[in-house]
Structure 1
């Protein structure tokens, strides 16, 4: 089988430790959220997200809805957008650095250098995605990617979302390899015709799938899926 033309990757549990998102990013945003929203409520981009929250939760105060969603780790687009805005300030002032598994940067650079298109699809906002890669512990990795997608495309467990992604990427689904640690996301991508590989990282306690190829890290993905540079990964 020919190698894929493009790689679409999840972030949490795939390129980035779950602990960084759970123990660093989420508490950082939660601690600042009430004051930050009050201070920036009139800013057009913030006002638009607050209006969407009111539409989604009629009669409930915006802040109450946001905090409830955070407690539930809900994949809700306006929450993710506002979290991304708060994280942006943290990255820009040096309070945050994006944690990336050490095996990921060399693999991304090798794949990009070989001409593969690299894309991100995460429940975190596009803004947050660009920040975590652009201000990473390995330097600016965001420039390696051709595109970033979030839940505005659709839910990550819905096959139609992956069909829309393939159209946006201008790549046939069969030529796209989707990487994630979550079996249900891989199922949805496969249903849309994409190739899949599950990241099973020991530190995250991921349960291996019996429906998708698995790998412990990005070098393992390269070896398992016939990607360029597998022998040197």
Structure 2
């Protein structure tokens, strides 16, 4: 079956892990406490503070305690939805102020454009919030890439390591899983997508960490190799 849609991860796939961990995360960590204190009355921020409370089993969590959890989760690189949502709000400010642009591998930009022009539908599935995903691609090193994408998915859908999440994506795309290619640098995510019936390819970019579990999948060094592997079937 021909590939009709490609769903891609971000970190280590379209963008450098270093950009996330050395630029975005420190930017959010240094500002999240003041941001939450100054904006706690905004409905969208209050909603996330309450979500932090639900995560830790405290429906009436004090503001400062919520902030402590948020900072701790950043330090632990936790994939927790309210943290991702608040980080997205902070990164929006950073992008809009020109504090940084979203790193993109040049080969990813080239082939995303080519695949889009060929009529292959492109989607993103990342642990970062949909808002954060759109911001990165809208303010990328290569300009605004959001017109290339047909949709975005984040962890509000479910864990990236659970097959059910990928089944839900296939349902949302109204395509058989075998017509969808998922790209990631994480073997556990590739395992889950394959279990849901999707075709999968791993990205093993130079300098990015590899797992001992990687042997179960085919790995590509860049998107040009992804294209070759995809055409080979």
The question of 1:215 aligning with 2:220 is answered yes
TM-score (norm 2): 0.94
1-side partners of 2:76 and 2:177: how far apart?
A: 32
2-side partners of 1:56 and 1:9: how far apart?
A: 28
Partner of 1:26: 25
Q: 1:1-233 alignment to 2 at 5 Å?
A: 2-59=1-58, 61-207=65-211, 209-226=214-231
Deviation at 1:205, TM superposition (A): 2.7
Over the aligned positions, Cα root-mean-square deviation in angstroms equals 1.2
1-side partners of 2:3 and 2:202: how far apart?
A: 16
CA contact (8 A) 1:98 1:136 kept: yes
CA contact (8 A) 1:200 1:207 kept: no
1-side partners of 2:97 and 2:73: how far apart?
A: 26
Deviation at 1:171, TM superposition (A): 1.5
2-side partners of 1:22 and 1:173: how far apart?
A: 32
Deviation at 1:161, TM superposition (A): 0.5
Provide Cα deviations, 1:86-107, integer angstroms capped at 9, x if missing partner. 0000001111200001111110
- Which residues of structure 2 form unaligned runs of 5+? none
2-side partners of 1:100 and 1:212: how far apart?
A: 24
2-side partners of 1:211 and 1:161: how far apart?
A: 20
> How many residues end up aligned between the 2 structures?
226
- 3-state DSSP class of the match of 1:46? helix
Deviation at 1:206, TM superposition (A): 2.4
Deviation at 1:69, TM superposition (A): 0.8
